[in-house]
Amino acid sequence: MVASEVRALFAVASRPEVVSLAGGMPNVAALPLDQIGELVRDVVAEEGPAALQYGSAQGDPVLREQICDYMTLEGITASPDDVIVTVGSQQALDLITRVFVDPGDVVLCEAPTYVTAINTFSAFQAEIRHVAMDGDGVVPEELDEALTRAAREGRRVKFFYTVPNFQNPAGITMTAERRARVLEICERHDVLVVEDNPYGLLRYDGEAQPTLYSQGSGNVIYLGSLSKTLSPGLRIGWALAPAPVRAKLVLAAESAMLSHSTFNQLVVRRYLRTFPWREQIKAFNTMYGERRDAMLGALEAMMPAGCTWTRPEGGFFVWATLPEGIDAKAMLPRAVAERVAYVPGTGFFADGRGRADMRLSFCYPTPEQIREGVRRLVGAIEGELDLRDTFGSTLAPPTEGSQAPAPDLP
């Protein structure tokens, strides 16, 4: 396990004068906090002894029923027996890796992929192999080739990890056609798919795509979370898994933490029972949609020639690529001096790629702050362009073969 090299810079970046386009923190201040306060008080008043007691490692049965109801919005029909509540979907990633991965096993991930998934897979000594993406999601031929190559080498691929909706960090959504092909390929190679979908309901335009889980035939583990649609502080996520897998995940969860926070589960249970949570998700979508538009508008208006970026239909992130010869990590101190922060792309690859890339998040700052942040970012890029034009490339020499230390940001 390695700490992020850019951690010290992020300490500076969290100062109030810096516009942070770096973190992925949901804007929980938009929740009606007084009503949530009342709800918490009611849990203590009406269910105090139960709320303060141990619970099970699989999670509260009523909450698991409510999670099944929630998942119908994603087109998933599931039984509460197949759901295991987890401490955010992050714990589900940890449990799945713990159960499936032996040192040296191969895990396939999109390129780029979610930074903390890289950290988790690396902690269990998986060999992470990236599979290329384009604007429609992972490239099926590349996935097939990666699986064929691993088989030829006699290597065990334990699963393919994907974030199909508004991917963190790339903002890309996998098309329905691609989803069908991914399932066909993984089934043919007898490999599990881990479908991580914390952002699926945060869609600002376009059509919802079917989940891989609902189209698959038993080889998909689905991960959900209330972190982005309610609160990450309550730490409620879940895995939906075929029965034999679910049983092992429950055993692993028991040894990791004995029982969930009964209290948090009862708070969420009451929230889902008494609160107009579907309306709350719509309100989040209106707010985040405005922020997404502010970022895309500002990038369109201000970014220098040679920069490219993705146009997410939902979620929190835009992935931007800098002009030829500019290194996003080398540029970060200059950006922080300009009072803007972002996450350099290298953190989202296990193999040192991503030097020209950066992740820009639009979930936390206001639209005005986003526009100002992009203006400052453009100032930093123009400074680097001057440097490049005077001295040549600002790209650091490649760090071939090393697993890049990743920034530990959500």
Site residues (vs ligand PMP, CB under 6 A) = 24, 88-90, 114, 163, 168, 196, 198, 225, 227, 232, 237, 410
Residue number with CB closer to ligand PMP (219 or 227): 227
Shortest distance, position 237 Cβ to ligand PMP, whole Å? 4
Tokens, residue 335: 């950006």
Residue number with CB closer to ligand PMP (106 or 115): 115
Give residue number: closest CB to ligand PMP.
88
Shortest distance, position 198 Cβ to ligand PMP, whole Å? 5
Shortest distance, position 127 Cβ to ligand PMP, whole Å? 21
Shortest distance, position 410 Cβ to ligand PMP, whole Å? 4
Shortest distance, position 196 Cβ to ligand PMP, whole Å? 5
Residue number with CB closer to ligand PMP (198 or 344): 198
Residue number with CB closer to ligand PMP (76 or 303): 76
Shortest distance, position 7 Cβ to ligand PMP, whole Å? 17
Tokens, residue 273: 């029972």
Residue number with CB closer to ligand PMP (168 or 173): 168
Distance CA 380, CA 234 (A): 37
Shortest distance, position 114 Cβ to ligand PMP, whole Å? 4
Report cis status (omega within 30 of 0) of the bond before 169: yes
Shortest distance, position 235 Cβ to ligand PMP, whole Å? 7
Residue number with CB closer to ligand PMP (232 or 345): 232
Tokens, residue 126: 């998986």
Residue number with CB closer to ligand PMP (95 or 307): 95
Residue number with CB closer to ligand PMP (87 or 150): 87
Only one residue has tokens 């002009």, namely 323
Distance CA 344, CA 357 (A): 6
Start-to-end CA distance of the chain, whole Å, equals: 17
Residue number with CB closer to ligand PMP (56 or 225): 225
Shortest distance, position 292 Cβ to ligand PMP, whole Å? 16
Query: Packing angle between helix 367-391 and helix 328-337, nearest 10 degrees?
Result: 120
